[in-house]
Amino acid sequence: MKIVDGPIVRKQFKTAFVRPDRFRFETSQWAPLRKLVFVVWTNGMVVKSYSTAEGWKSHDSLHLPLAAATGVSGGTAAIVPELLIPADVSGFPLTNMMTNVERLADADVGTARCYCLRGRLADFTATIWIDQQTHLLLRMERLMQDDGDEATEVTTYEPEIDIQIGDADLEPDTASK
């Protein structure tokens, strides 16, 4: 059993992507007295973002809105889109873990047997679990250290591929406000 010492913050996110250029990322978390929502959406050359603080804004590319959503989403806004549309996104690609990566013992995430890898990614240590059958990212732990303090952030992914994605799942204004 792992004992948690410190606050636990739960964040939710959802990504929908249809090749070649329909994409929607939404993240939300509860703050005292209200829900914070951030949406990044694109359909071809049209890019928009929504936040509970600023409402809807238009953008020239996905770079700025995904960078803004990265902190709110615990890094997921940088990790997942980079895997789906690497040419359109700059962030923390998992491929940057190519050096100083150590293979840990295989482990299970739910019912999936996973490869488990640990390495440096940006300014933190990342441990990732990759499904051995589908090669999809199922879990990521980020260990952050600053002046002797440590914090671990855990993200659990529930990816689905080749599923029917309806137009409503890709619309910009379906934010969970």
Q: How many CB atoms lie within 10 A of CB 91?
A: 22
CB neighbourhood size of 110 (10 A)? 10
Q: Does domain 11-170 have CATH number 2.50.20?
A: yes
Q: For 77-88, what is the HEC assignment? A: HHHHHHHHCHHH
- Show the tokens assigned to 156: 């659990």
pTM for the full model? Answer: 0.80
Q: Is 166 left (phi over 0), alpha (psi -120 to 50) or beta?
A: beta
What pLDDT, on the 0 to 100 scale, is given for residue 131? 97
Q: What is the pLDDT of residues 9-42, one digit of tens each?
A: 667 788 899 988 899 999 887 766 777 888 999 9
89: Cβ contacts below 8 Å, ≥ 6 apart: 62, 63, 66, 78, 81, 82
Domain boundaries, the chain: 11-170
Q: Which of 75, 120, 112, 72 is nearest to 95 (CA)?
A: 120
pLDDT of residue 177: 45
* pLDDT, greater one: 131 or 125: 131
pLDDT digit string (tens) for 48-59?
999 888 899 999
Q: Is the pLDDT of residue 7 over 70?
A: no
Q: What region does 44 belong to: left with phi over 0, alpha with psi -120 to 50, or beta?
A: left
Instruction: Reply yes or no on whether the pLDDT at 102 is more than 80.
Output: yes
Cα–Cα distance measured from residue 154 to residue 125, given in angstroms and rounded to the nearest whole number:
12
